[in-house]
Amino acid sequence: MAPIVRAVDLRKNFGDFAALQGITLDIAAGEVLCVIGPSGSGKSTFLRCINQLETVTGGALWVDGELVGYRRAGHKLHALSENEIARQRLKTGMVFQRFNLFPHLTVLENVTEGPLRVQRRPRDEVVTEARALLERVGLAHKSDSFPIDLSGGQQQRVAIARALAMRPKLMLFDEPTSALDPELVGEVLSVMRDLATSGMTMVVVTHELGFARDVATRVMFMDKGQIVETGVPAQVLSDPQHPRTREFISAVR
């Protein structure tokens, strides 16, 4: 089966600064890839390239079999239009450190907004599915609340439900628990764990090494825009081969 994500010598420059310096990696369907690494190592940039919040400046990236940002016409590549990019972007759901819910919409409306307005799917179907998703993240009873009345952990669970409502092929998480009070981290990780068990393909940037150890199919350690080391959690987290990985893991622990 074709990988959900294929990066070949993926590069991203910001001016002269090389934030990603040649990332080559396949992510298979159903994989849960946890990305770890020091601040500034390019973790967010990697996710943002997959989700087309950044344009790639070198190498190539495929998501769900489609070349990101380009269309092939004979031997030529044409840059995609904004509309086509928006369509490609719908393949991925993204959850950020900050919850970014719409403050003026209820919890249920936050979840139905995208499927109704962007995907223009039938309201009955969308609402039924949204209620099921809220049930799944343990927030059915909060459907009519507004984000301001929820804890950070609850808001982040709504953000996950909202992303899932778009029926993405792939879910990206960028430090989803880093902004939460410690006692609220567990409930969000638990929802992510269930999602992983259900077979969703996930890329998770996290400092929660316990989660990575239990849930990841693979862990990738990045530093300075490069993949330093990748492997199963038992290897990368417990028996890292590279001194930089070792140093990072003992510092986070």
> How many chain residues are in contact with Mg ion, going by CB under 5 A?
1
Residue 109 CB, shortest distance to ligand ADP, in Å, is 31
Nearer to ligand ADP, 28 or 53 (CB): 53
Distance CA 43, CA 13 (A): 14
- The separation between CA 39 and the C-alpha centre of its own chain, rounded to angstroms, equals 17
Binding at 65: pick from ligand ADP, Mg ion, none (beta carbon under 5-8 Å per type)? none
Residue 105 CB, shortest distance to Mg ion, in Å, is 27
Pairing between β-strand 218-223 and β-strand 226-231 as defined by DSSP bridges:
antiparallel
Distance CA 224, CA 203 (A): 19
Binding at 250: pick from ligand ADP, Mg ion, none (beta carbon under 5-8 Å per type)? none
User: SS3 of 5, please?
Assistant: strand
For residue 240, count other CB atoms closer than 10 A to its CB.
Answer: 20
Residue 36 CB, shortest distance to ligand ADP, in Å, is 9
- Window 7-46: contact mask with Mg ion (x via CB under 5 A): -------------------------------------x--
Residue 207 CB, shortest distance to Mg ion, in Å, is 10
139 phi and psi angles, rounded to 5 deg: -130, 25
Residues lying near ligand ADP in the complex (CB under 6 A) are found at 14, 17, 19, 37, 39-45
Residue 225 CB, shortest distance to ligand ADP, in Å, is 7
Distance CA 81, CA 54 (A): 15
Binding at 110: pick from ligand ADP, Mg ion, none (beta carbon under 5-8 Å per type)? none
Nearer to ligand ADP, 40 or 199 (CB): 40
Helix H or strand E segment including 192:
helix 182-197
Distance CA 196, CA 109 (A): 25
- Interface residue list for Mg ion (CB under 5 A): 44
